[in-house]
Structure 1
Amino acid sequence: MDRVALRGLRARGYHGVFPHERQEGQTFVVDLTLGLDTRPAAADDDLAKTVHYGIVAEEVVGVVEGEPVNLIETLAERIARTCLKHDGVQEVEVSVHKPNAPIAVPFDDVTVTITRSRV
């Protein structure tokens, strides 16, 4: 299976369990790896035969900016479902980063990574 990756998609969301997270929001960062067969697109040099990663990026940003959830696990699941709606995408790995998570000790990032497939 071939891979198309998008790294560092940034969007402001209002996800989290604390009231200030829901009121103030914060930046979330998403990395995606889409699994699909790119041979038909490459053979014909045809965008219609692969996944349009620009559209995927816009949809993922829409999910992050959309309805708030408590957990980034839930956010990752919603993003995975959105990606799998695209014809040809057989598998997706989603990493959601929450670099400004409310943690009392110094840290660089909090990340949840999931893999989902059509099967």
Structure 2
Amino acid sequence: MDTIFLEQVKVQTKLGVPEWERTLPQTVILDIEIGYDFSKACQSDAIENTIDYGLVVARIRETLAEHSFKLVEALGEHVCQLILKEFKAQNVKLKVSKPGILPGLKALGVVMERDQK
């Protein structure tokens, strides 16, 4: 299997357990690995035989701007399912980082992996 990776994708969304934390968008950083069979793309050199990472990033930014999440886990699941369903990825590994949320803490977050069912 082949993998497309997108590192340090900065997105804006409303995220946090306390309601006040979800009043304004904040930056979340995503590291994404998308599993896909690139054999056709390697032969054809055509974008339609692979996953257009520009469209993936645009779609993630669009959907996260429209939604609010209490937990980074729920946000992560939302992004994983979007990539699996809309882009027909074989699998996805996602790291969600919420930077600078607590004093003395660089970031908090989750790492999750999901496969096509």
TM range, smaller chain: over 0.9
- The match for 1:114 is 112
| 1:16-55 pair list within 5 angstroms | 16-55=16-55
- The match for 1:97 is 97
Question: What's the offset of the Cα at 1:5?
Answer: 0.4
Distance 1:118 1:24 in 2: 33
Helix, strand or coil at the partner of 2:51: coil
User: In the comparison of the two structures, how many residue pairs are matched?
Assistant: 116
Identity %: 27
TM-score of the two chains, using structure 2 as the length reference: 0.92
Structure with greater strand share of residues? 2
Helix, strand or coil at the partner of 2:63: helix
- The match for 2:2 is 2
Q: Relative to structure 2, which stretch is displaced further, 12-21 or 36-45?
A: 12-21
Deviations 1:28-63 (A, max 9, x none): 111110001111101111110100110001111123
Question: What's the offset of the Cα at 1:24?
Answer: 2.8
Unaligned runs of 5+ in 1: none
Is residue 11 of structure 1 aligned with residue 14 of structure 2? no
Distance 2:30 2:66 in 1: 14
Amino acid in structure 1 at the alignment position of 2:57: A
